[in-house]
Structure 1
């Protein structure tokens, strides 16, 4: 499930997780030097920054399958589980200004490739996250394009994504050439627990001949 709600819900003000000192978000100009880093199972040094990014998203209305308020332990456990599942069928990239775990984390995206015998041609884009202070600067487009390239490299010709209908993410995906396949009522659940209509998007990838 991807974030970017059309309007953030009324939640308690964002407070940094205890024991995880928030890193200042870089100025917009810093995005010129952005680096995308593919994570591995043993990249545990990224956990604190990933947890901060997740809490920021949830507290700003992201539809990520988690409810606010999100505790430090819950955020860390979430990412530990995601890292443990990384492999050929599941990939995560993070965006930073420098490319190491000490740099502020600007965003992240997860790609899950179909593993079944009838799913070797497709994949799903999941958990596209951009820090609330860095939205509208093209970062989401860079993350999506990176996932698309990886899907192509893996021989996939179709990607799908579930979005909150009416969200900012719809504009991003439409700009990148994704097609809107339809809507499903009450498909997504936002951070405060309310259900929303979900929009299904897909993109056909041109495999090299």
Structure 2
């Protein structure tokens, strides 16, 4: 079921059970764009489309096994039956250790550069929280670059800061960056 905001945004958000070739290509292009734009999402620049495709093929396999929930934000299309271009995504890592069946990790949130600062990140976060609840998860955790747009978004959305690890990861250009951990208790 698509998730929409009251002001009818230019996108719809939905959970997918498998990726088609078009979606894989669009997600690969999105990943390359955000990494080349400076996002620290686990990849270094320059990132090739082939490496990005392989990543999404691995995500697709994990989604099919039920280990992850994958949400896509797609631009609305004039033809309601035709899917729009993928402009954002977020994942929930559902597969957790035996003693943590109630927890999920929120990961790899990405918003196309031209769609940033339009509310799409907040809509993806809300959709991820709703999906987590539907999956029976009551605790979510995530990490993000300290003082980033994501850091500010998660704070605004009621996530609780746990702490910061200096030099935890690298920016795509190789410089070290600090990471902040957050959690949210779902009711």
* TM-score (norm. length: structure 2): 0.88
Residue of structure 2 equivalent to 1:44: 21
Q: Does 1:140 align with 2:153?
A: no
SS at match of 1:50: helix
Q: Contact conserved, 1:184 with 1:198, CA < 8 A, in 2?
A: yes
CA shift, 1:98, in A, is 2.6
Q: Contact conserved, 1:114 with 1:121, CA < 8 A, in 2?
A: no
Bigger RCO of structures 1 and 2 (CA < 8 A, at least 6 apart): 1
Q: Answer 1 or 2: which has greater strand percent.
A: 2
* TM-score (norm. length: structure 1): 0.79
Q: Contact conserved, 1:49 with 1:101, CA < 8 A, in 2?
A: no
Deviation string, structure 1 residues 136-181 (Cα, Å, up to 9, x no partner):
1110011011111111112211100001001011111111110111
Residue of structure 1 equivalent to 2:31: 54
Residue of structure 2 equivalent to 1:105: 86
* Separation in structure 1 between the aligned mates of residue 55 and residue 95 of structure 2, nearest angstrom: 21
Alignment of 1:90-129 (within 5 A): 90-98=68-76, 103-129=84-110
Q: Does 1:205 align with 2:183?
A: no
Residue of structure 2 equivalent to 1:88: 66
Q: Contact conserved, 1:45 with 1:101, CA < 8 A, in 2?
A: no
- Matched residues, number: 177
- CA RMSD after TM alignment: 1.9
CA shift, 1:44, in A, is 3.1
Alignment of 1:119-198 (within 5 A): 119-198=100-179
* Separation in structure 2 between the aligned mates of residue 63 and residue 85 of structure 1, nearest angstrom: 22
* Long gaps (5+) in structure 1: 1-29
**Runs of 4+ more than 6 Å apart:** none
Deviation string, structure 1 residues 102-146 (Cα, Å, up to 9, x no partner):
522211101112432111111110000001111111100110111
* Separation in structure 2 between the aligned mates of residue 74 and residue 114 of structure 1, nearest angstrom: 24
Q: Contact conserved, 1:31 with 1:97, CA < 8 A, in 2?
A: no
* Separation in structure 1 between the aligned mates of residue 96 and residue 158 of structure 2, nearest angstrom: 25
* Separation in structure 2 between the aligned mates of residue 187 and residue 31 of structure 1, nearest angstrom: 38
